[in-house]
Amino acid sequence: MDMKRDYYEDIELFQSNTVFFWTVVLMACLFTLPLYVESYNIYLVNIILVHVIMAVGLNILVGYTGQISLGHAGFFAIGAYGTALISMHLHMPFVVSLIASGLIAAFFGFILGLPALRLEGPYLAIATLGFGLTIMHVIGRWEVFGGRMGITVPPLDMGVPGTPLSFVIEGDVKIYYLILVITILMVICARNLMKTRLGRAFVAIRDDDVAAEVMGVNLTVYKTLSFAVSAFYAGIAGGLYGYVVSFFDPFTFNLILSIIFLVMVVVGGLGSILGSVLGASLITYLQFDLLKNVEELPYLGDLLVLVSRKWLTVIGLANFSSIALGVIMICIVIFEPLGMFGIWIRIKKYWKTWPF
């Protein structure tokens, strides 16, 4: 055994030179992306990044702490509306309104975490589902929120809106860089959190809450904290989402959205930050791009339309993406419970031993 073990290695961001190398390569690709990707696709990538933040945050709650939430679209909505309204009415710079609405979402997360102290499994699912639906309907009724008609998001202003200090950022590409930096920051923060004291307490609660409590973990504090942190991520994601789409209404944040967030986390891999990044990317891509154009696929497209007309719905492949998501979910749960992260681990193992 080497006597001078460096314990920092255990928690270091880049645990080997290989990891460091590939991270640099990935970063180089991400930062030069707009040079070779067309504008619509940058819009799609922006949505993916927003969903990455969302999925990472949701995974902290679901994957690491072992709680369930069917109401995360509610926090997403709080972030989106909060950011837009704060910059519109209070004339705050982007960063301030974004963080403020993240904190508001975190506060609601804390409140929702309180019943979670007593509820488990299906009961918690119902409580969080109720929360998500309530947020959606309350927002739809209040005029300040633009009612059912929705609101148009003001321009993204890094300075103070409506003054000479105003500094507006426009266009998908510029917004892309901004969101990219924020996403990288949030992913690193989440990874650090899960590697240290807080993450260990969350995992302890997930695996055995009695043992966790007997070892000195205050369940009240840490369960509500998990909800709050997770909701903060959702709020930040929502705030950014508003600037990406520039218009939304209450029904954008429906139950299906909450479920799709959950699908990202499960497909990516519960309890893995990397998995959440992969899951959010894959599901968003499937939803927005691949499955949208599936009708145009040669042969397969026609066949699917036929099947769909006959057995499912008359309006082409409208339901196809939900069905495909369902099938992916079922396959993941049956064949690879660790999700895409599990597949990734297997690939890594395979290459490590190859060609011996």
Partner 1 sequence: MAHVRVENLSISFGGIKAVDDVSFEVEDNTIFSIIGPNGSGKTTIFNMISGIYRPDSGRVTLDGEDLVGKRPDKIAKKGIARTFQNIQLFTNATVMDNIMLGRHIHMKTGVLGGAFMWGRSSPTAKEEVKNREIVEHIIDFLDLQSVRDQFVGNLPYGKRKLVELGRALALEPKVLLLDEPSAGMNTEEKDDLRIWIKDIQEDYRVTILLIEHDMNMVMGISDRILAINQGVKIVEGKPSEVQKHPEVIAAYLGEED
Number of residues in contact with partner 1 under rule CB under 8 A: 36
Determine which residue in the list 216, 298, 314, 356 makes contact with partner 1, applying CB under 8 A. 216
Tell which one of 134, 196, 293, 319 touches partner 1 (CB under 8 A): 196
> In this chain, which of 5, 118, 348, 352 binds partner 1, going by CB under 8 A?
5
208 touches partner 1 (CB under 8 A): yes
**Residue in 253, 239, 250 with CA at minimum distance from that of residue 142:** 250
Should residue 134 be labelled a site residue for partner 1 when binding is judged by CB under 8 A?
Answer: no
Tokens of 92: 């705050």
- Output phi, psi for 222, to 5 deg: -80, -30
CB neighbour class for 324 (10 Å; exposed up to 12, middle 13-18, buried from 19): middle
Residue 7 contacts partner 1 per CB under 8 A: yes
Closest CB to partner 1 among residues 121, 216: 216
Count other C-beta atoms under 10 Å from residue 112's C-beta: 25
CB of 197 to partner 1, least distance (A): 4
Burial class (CB in 10 A: 0-12, 13-18, 19+), 78: buried
> Alpha helix locations (H) across 269-338?
273-285, 300-307, 320-335
- Residue 179 has which token pair? 């969101």
DSSP string, 154-185: PPEESS-TTSTT--EE-SHHHHHHHHHHHHHH
Asked if 225 interacts with partner 1 (CB under 8 A), we say yes
| Local structure of 152: helix, strand or coil | strand
Residue 215 interacting with partner 1 (CB under 8 A): yes
Mask 251-290, x = binds partner 1 (CB under 8 A)?
Answer: --------------------x-------------------
Say whether residue 204 binds partner 1 (CB under 8 A).
yes
Stretch that binds partner 1, among 149-157, 193-201, 304-312, 328-336 (CB under 8 A): 193-201
52 lies in the site for partner 1, by CB under 8 A? no
| 103 or 119: CB nearest partner 1 | 103
Does 8 bind partner 1 (CB under 8 A)? Our answer is yes
Residue 113 contacts partner 1 per CB under 8 A: no
Shortest Cβ distance from residue 86 to partner 1 (Å)? 22
Residue of 222, 224, 255 whose CA lies nearest to 76 = 255
Piece of the chain touching partner 1 by CB under 8 A; list 25-33, 46-54, 112-120, 195-203: 195-203
Query: What CA–CA distance (Å, rounded) separates 148 from 81?
Result: 13
